[in-house]
Structures are given as C-alpha cells and as structure tokens.
Amino acid sequence: MVSESAAPHFNIEPTSNPTPADHRADLIANPAFGRIFTDHMAVVKYSESRGWHDARITARKPISLDPAASVLHYAQEIFEGMKAYRTGNGSIVTFRPEENAKRFRASAARMAMADLPQEIFIQAVDELVKMDRDWVPEGEGKSLYLRPFMIATEAFLGVKPASEYLFVVIACPVGAYFGSGCVSVWVSEDYTRAAPGGTGAAKCGGNYAASLVAQRDSQSHGCDQVLFLDSREQRFVEEMGGMNVMFLRDDNTLVTPPLTGTILPGITRDAILQLAKDHGLKIEQTPIEIDEVFAGAASGRYREAFACGTAAVITPIGSLRRRQGEAVFGDGKTPGDVSLGLKKTLTEIQSGKTNDVHGWIHSIV
C-alpha cells in the first residue's frame, strides 16, 4: 500500500457558521458526557491506490456513505478515546497521544483495516484541538473528549477487508462520565465480552455493541456498570464495559488482570500502575478469581476497587453484585484513600498542576 505522504498537510476550512461565543459558554458550562460537539472535525481519506490523502479540518457535518459501505454490513470500525485538558497556565495539552496512536494501529491491524501512521493521527488531533480550542472547558473534571475513529467506506458486499477508509476525529466538551461517589457494578454471568483469539484487545465498535445487552442487564439489577468474566470458565475478572478494573488488597498491593489479549490495554491502566509504584504500592498483573474478590471484600482483604479509563478517570466501586450476593468495599459509599490519592496524582499531571516526571504530557497550544 502506498501513501501520498506520511504526514499530509491538513487543509484548514473554518466553518461559516460557528457557534456564537455566549451559546458555546452555556453549552460547555455543564456538558455531561458525549452529547455536545464542537464546530469542526478532522477528516482524512484512504484508498489503496492513493494511500492517506485529502486531510482536512472542516465544519462538523453528517458523513455521506454508500448504503453498501462495508462498515454498515461487516462492522469494520475502530475508535479511540482521549482528552485535551486546559492547564493552569492557559496551555492545552493531551495525555500520551502516541499511546492512542499506537493502539489505533494495533486495532486497525486486528480488523484488517488500513494502517494509519502515528504522525497523521497526532496531527489530526492537534489541528482539531487548535481549531476548536475555545471549546476546551476549564475547571476540575472537565476536558475536551476526542474521538478519533476509522470506518470502511468501500461499496462492496463481498466479505473481505475494504480498500477504502475514512479517518475522522470529532470532539466534545465533557464533565464526569459518572457522578461523584462510588458506582455499583453487576457481575455478568450470562454474557462475556471477548474470547481468546477474538477482538477483546482491539478498540472496535463491535465489542461495545456486544456489551450493550449486558450493560442494560446491569441497570435492570440497579447497577451502574457491568463487569465481565473470562469466557472460558466464567471464573476470572476481565474488565468493565468501557473501563479496566483494579483492586487494592490489605497488603498494599494493587492488582489488575493481565493483558492476555481479551481486555483492552488501557492507557490509564498503564499510567496508574506506574503511579502506584511511585506511591510505594506493590503491583500485580495477575488473573483474579471473582470468588476470591467476594470473599476478600467480606474479610477485609480486598479493601478498595475502582474502574479506570479515559472517560471514567478513576471511579471508585462501592459494591459488586451477582446472583449469589454482594461484595461491598469499605462502607460501600465512601471512596477509598488509595483510589482518591491515585486519582489526584493522575489528574494533577493531566491539568499541569504536578511535574510531569514521566513525560506523558503533549502540549498543543
């Protein structure tokens, strides 16, 4: 496959109809998660004959697709989730964008999609953030959520990897994904998310489509989120619908499932493991038996649990529920000290309040 250029020049086409400043200020004052979008998007096309081409920052608008486009039939779609933060000194930064670019390439490889060079991924995000910089909200817990994605656009109904793709980045100002406090989590014993050899480690839309019925099930049991177990034995903890999961044991060890190909290699997960080491905690990436977690919560051996991810940041888990009962961490309502301490360190790095000793921050403006 050829590419017109490894890092194409982005044509900048500002919208002729920008959101008025006072309306934008109202929209970003209380944004919730994922319903308000900025004025622009980044778009880059791919064809086997031309490689990546026609890179633009343009007005955000509907995408026109042939009804035979393969994404609509065979779900060749991948995405990423990352955030731009406004720091105390007025600059706007992203967190480890090269990791998102790498994971995007890995997801593309798994889904037999075109390889998007890291420079194009990062340039698209940077140019969009520059263009929509006024949409980056200020204040604790607020950021501009960035959603890079790629879809197969070739009009062809034979089952094969498409020869044409569209890479797009959209952005939305966001607040917390969950409210404050702890979440309750339903352990799904009816549905699994990924099997060995499957697509669990890829960030493809199909994984999320398959998780929705389990997420709905968790809500029907009065929980906020779902936790999946391994598909072979339904014995080991995997991850949640859109987050990784970690537990703190009473021997000051932070434990989380290993990356064996069935869970998403979270960038937040990786950063927290590093920060936990910095805080003097021991870390273990090891299979975790769900029965051990339930017994350990009752005995006090498992003291804290939390979900982690770009959208969720670090969200304390108050309780896990399953048909045979409930596992409560602490009093089930108050976030644990270690979860809060790790969250504070992580968010202070992201908002520029703490020295970025690991070199995780990428400045855009």
Residues that bind ligand COI (CB under 6 A): 81, 242, 309-311
Amino acid at 175: G
Q: Which residues of 203-212 are buried (b: 16+ CB within 10 A; e: fewer)?
A: bbbbbeebbe
- Kindly tell me which of 297 and 311 has the beta carbon lying closer to ligand COI: 311
CA distance 66 to 191: 33
Instruction: Identify which of residues 142 and 269 has a Cβ nearer to ligand PLP in the complex.
Output: 269
User: Residue 181, exposed/middle/buried by CB under 10 A (0-12, 13-18, 19+)?
Assistant: exposed
Q: Which is nearer to ligand COI, 242 or 318 (CB)?
A: 242
Q: Rule CB under 6 A: is residue 38 a binding residue for ligand PLP?
A: no
Binding mask 282-311 for ligand PLP (x = CB under 6 A): ---------------------------xx-
Q: Residue 245: CA atoms inside 13 Å, Cβ hemisphere, count? A: 31
Q: Is 257 in the site for ligand PLP (CB under 6 A)?
A: no
Segment 163-192, which members bind ligand PLP (CB under 6 A)? Answer: none
Stretch that binds ligand PLP, among 126-134, 154-162, 264-272, 357-365 (CB under 6 A): 264-272
Out of ligand PLP, ligand COI, none, which partner does residue 269 contact, by CB within 5 to 8 A per kind?
ligand PLP
Q: Are 152 and 165 in contact (CB under 8 A)?
A: yes
By beta-carbon proximity to ligand PLP, the closer residue of 161 and 206 is 206
> What, of ligand PLP, ligand COI, none, does residue 244 touch, CB below 5 to 8 Å by kind?
ligand PLP
Structural contact between residues 65 and 152, judged by C-beta atoms closer than 8 angstroms: no
148 near ligand PLP, rule: CB under 6 A: no
Indicate the residue among 161 and 205 with the shorter CB distance to ligand PLP. Answer: 205
**How far is C-alpha 51 from the chain's CA centre?**
27
Span 54-83, contacts to ligand PLP by CB under 6 A: 81
Residues in the interface with ligand PLP (CB under 6 A) total: 12
3 state SS of 125 = helix
What sign has the CA pseudo-torsion 183, 187, 191, 193? positive
Residue 310 vs 350, nearer CB to ligand PLP? 310
Rounded least distance, CB 9 to ligand COI, Å: 28
Supply 95's token pair: 């967190």
CA distance 24 to 30: 11
Query: Of all helices (H) and strands (E), which one includes residue 51?
Result: strand 51-59
Three-class DSSP category at 345: helix
269 binds ligand PLP (CB under 6 A): yes
Tell me how far, at minimum, the Cβ of 20 lies from ligand COI, in Å.
28
- If the CB atoms of residues 39 and 239 are measured against ligand PLP, the closer one turns out to be 239
DSSP state of 270: H
Residues that bind ligand PLP (CB under 6 A): 81, 239, 242-244, 264, 266-269, 309-310
